[in-house]
């Protein structure tokens, strides 16, 4: 199937050009915290396990995982979003700067904590997860700062990713402002949605819902391939997208384009250990490809190969350029 979409030569040329293009990620910045340990007894205070902590890991989460995917595969990337005036926020800034990622678009808000998802894992089993977050919409001053940043860097960009985790960062005013700034620029605006109402994203170039997100947006359940085809066409027509890429897990993905083209892309994953963050890999690689002037079909095919690699890893993972070149 891949050879029908693009040649190996074109694929390798596209991957090699990642370092020459830049993508801006806009969205909900998170930190994924993993606390690793072992359990040997039950607490005398309550019927819960006592976890003896042996290690701790911090990873980029939320839209920051999209940032990490773009960085890991060799692309230039910048990010705009909100963190708190706290240690996790400072850790995120340090990590970005250590990777050479532009942090000028990151807004520090005193009354809003950095979003942290903490998972306590013992003997390879997650014992509990707890989240620190505030979901209230961003205020107008923060919105203004971020839109000023988008305007300042637009000349460097080939694509923008709106990574919506429904934590209050992505608003219709923000999306409207980005569309106004980038109008006529050739910058491709890609959206990974979490809102059920896709009118929220109307007029963006590409949207990449998974199977369930597409169902919720349409208010129907897909019971057949024909349902998915009709649903993809409806999303294109109803919300003025140029393309809709529906990801279907082990069934691969389907790309719908405004010209009427429908492309089925079967999965290439050999083994699936963990689908966590696979959507972030898809939109990160897809956006890099279109920034490098690949077609939507070519970008989807390469993103599918990248997702096939990442689901073979455990936890929020990323793909390297060498890994993607190897599977081709």
Task: List residues with catalytic annotation.
Answer: 280
Nearest in space to 10 (alpha carbons), one of 311, 297, 314, 315? 297
CA dihedral (186, 187, 193, 198) positive or negative = negative
CA dihedral (278, 284, 289, 293) positive or negative = positive
Number of H helices, E strands in the chain: 11, 13
Q: Which long-range contacts (CB under 8 A, 24 or more apart) does 308-312 make?
A: 308/267, 308/268, 308/269, 308/270, 309/269, 310/69, 310/277, 310/278, 310/281, 311/269, 311/272, 311/273, 311/274, 311/275, 311/278, 312/269, 312/270, 312/271, 312/272, 312/273
CA dihedral (15, 203, 211, 230) positive or negative = negative
Cβ atoms of 52 and 61 within 8 Å: the answer is: no
For residues 16 and 325, give the distance between their C-alpha atoms in angstroms, rounded to a whole number.
9
């Amino acid at each position: 199937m891949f050879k029908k979409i693009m040649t190996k030569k074109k694929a390798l040329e596209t991957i090699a050009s990642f370092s020459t293009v830049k993508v801006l990620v806009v969205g909900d910045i998170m930190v994924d915290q993993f606390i690793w340990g072992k359990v040997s007894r039950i607490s005398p205070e309550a019927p819960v396990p006592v976890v003896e902590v042996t290690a701790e890991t911090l990873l980029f989460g939320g839209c920051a995982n999209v940032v990490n995917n773009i960085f890991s595969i060799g692309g230039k990337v910048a990010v705009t979003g909100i963190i708190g005036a706290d240690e996790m926020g400072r850790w995120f800034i340090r990590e970005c700067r250590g990777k050479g990622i532009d942090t000028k678009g990151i807004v520090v808000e005193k009354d809003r904590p950095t979003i942290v998802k903490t998972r306590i894992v013992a003997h390879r089993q997650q014992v509990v997860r707890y989240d620190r977050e505030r979901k209230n919409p961003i205020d107008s001053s923060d919105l203004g700062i971020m839109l000023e940043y988008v305007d300042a860097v637009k000349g460097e960009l080939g694509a923008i990713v709106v990574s919506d985790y429904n934590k209050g960062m992505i608003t219709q005013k923000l999306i409207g402002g980005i569309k106004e700034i980038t109008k006529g620029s050739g910058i491709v605006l890609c959206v990974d949605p979490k809102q059920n109402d896709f009118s929220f994203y109307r007029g963006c170039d590409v949207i990449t819902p998974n199977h369930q997100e597409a169902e919720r947006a349409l208010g129907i359940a897909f019971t057949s391939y024909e349902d998915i085809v009709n649903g993809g066409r409806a999303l294109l027509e109803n919300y003025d997208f140029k393309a809709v890429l529906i990801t279907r897990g082990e069934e691969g993905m389907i790309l719908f384009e405004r010209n009427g083209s429908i492309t089925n892309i079967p999965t290439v994953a050999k083994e699936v250990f963990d689908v966590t963050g696979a959507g972030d890999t898809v939109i990160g690689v897809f956006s890099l490809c279109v920034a490098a002037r690949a077609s939507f079909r070519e970008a989807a095919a390469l993103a599918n190969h990248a997702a096939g690699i990442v689901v073979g890893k455990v936890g929020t993972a990323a793909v390297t350029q060498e890994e993607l070149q190897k599977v081709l």
